[in-house]
Chain A
Amino acid sequence: MGLLLELRDVDARYGQVQALRGVGLTVAEGEIVAILGANGAGKTTTLRAISGTVRRSGTLEFDGKSLARLGPESAARLGIAHVPEGRGTFVELSVWENLRLGAHVRRGRLDDDFRRVFEYFPWLEERRSQHAGTLSGGEQQMLALARAVMQRPRLLLLDEPSLGLAPLVVAEIFRIVRDLNEREGTAMLLVEQNARSSLAIAARAYVLEVGTVAFEGTSAELSSRDTIRQSYLGY
């Protein structure tokens, strides 16, 4: 599998506060990679550094092209879909409009895309004219995921998709994420507090600690090493 995303020595800062120091990671095509770590370790910032929504420096390459000078609009156009924490749903717009916006950068007919999205999320079809703001938290998370599917991304950045959701909904979301990866071959970088569920679907994982990569390895390695599991993954 070819390399899709490579970060080397990436720093990021919010004003005076340095959030990432020399982070390096890779994602191969079609691979699911998890980023784990405590609150404030820099997981969200890592995703934001990739999509260009935080000031960053270092080497960021996507499919051989440098992301370092690109903003989020251009990253989206290259095929990176970022579903941010808090989902980034357009709550003022309808479900259909949210989905339509996912395909903003593409031209041509979208019938196939809508059909595909409605296969993954059948309930969206009958609620297409509903205001997105009236959906429940879990439904909004799925809508955000569905909008990302409309983007036909090569890399999906998922930030805490399980945050604040009921266990059954979380299970459903993880099932769809795995499905998407298997059927569409979309590579994913998954940030999660829920280490157990994410290691179950990820091939590899990085553990962040105060803005740097503390450990990396395959999911099996990380979950089998008791010290890592207990100190960083919390189970």
Chain B
Amino acid sequence: MAAIWAIGEIADGQPTKLTLELATLARTLAANSGGEARTVLVGAGASAAGPAAAAYGPDVLAVEVDGGLGDRPAAAVIAPRVAELVAQRKPDFLLIGASNDGKDVCGLLLGLTDLPLLANGSGVAWGDGAPRVEMSTFGGKLVTHSTFAGTRGMVIVRPASVSAEAASAPGVVETVEVSVGAELPAVKVTGSVEESGAAAPIEEARIIVGAGRGIGSPDGLKVIEDLAAALGGAVGATRAVVDSGWVPYGQQIGQTGKIVKPSLYVACGISGAIQHKVGVQTAGTIVAINRDPDAPIAEFAELFVVGDLFEIVPRLTAALRARKSGSA
């Protein structure tokens, strides 16, 4: 009989996709454990965002935050309120999303509540009266299943670990008043800058085309983008490409970037060094296009096209377009 809370995030007045995934997961775990689940939303507009989250099953605890804290980073506002709620209602397990804000909230909660933590979860199941968290460690060499030594804990859950599924019976939204003893030390947000080229988060993409050093220059990106468009997918890149400034960091795939799990990953001009491998090795199907048949990516790709990507990729794009328009 465990109480499982999904700690959600609000963006543009709505719960994020990751929040809905966590809500679904909490609902499933509660059902399997004979316990109950909640989705916690903290922030300005939490109540308004509540129904959208409640559609995914668990009742929502919506904590409004007054405008006075508007100059602080979100996690600094969310964490003390969640900690206060946790102290009052004593849930057993918290599920927190592995977004930047989510990880901040989790880290702050670790300091505030001292709850045990399992980070980098790629799946959570219920077994033997406890959550069973799947994690990939040591650069992907090992897949472990872990649990808590005690009866309580927090789990950081990666995006796309579960698919968000609306519930047959939505939960109710409960607006909760929470007052905290002390806010966290002051950090002020004094400005905000928008940069062009911000793409949709690639963790959510079903198909990703990766650009490696083989593209040679920022001009080489065009053929990659065209292929991604033809496949209906997103563009990712290796660290070398991002470090060269050709692609934003948010699209970096690998050990120090994003771990992605698309159904299809097309690696163009990517050697497949282990730091990059870590980012894509759980992808469904990996196709590599590279001039060097000796490249390490051959070890984990399913199909390896030996050739100049500037010859192969445009032809592939053209063929895909032709096929789509029915003239193949």
Asked whether A and B interact, the reply is: no
A residues lining the B interface (CB < 8 Å):
none
B residues lining the A interface (CB < 8 Å):
none
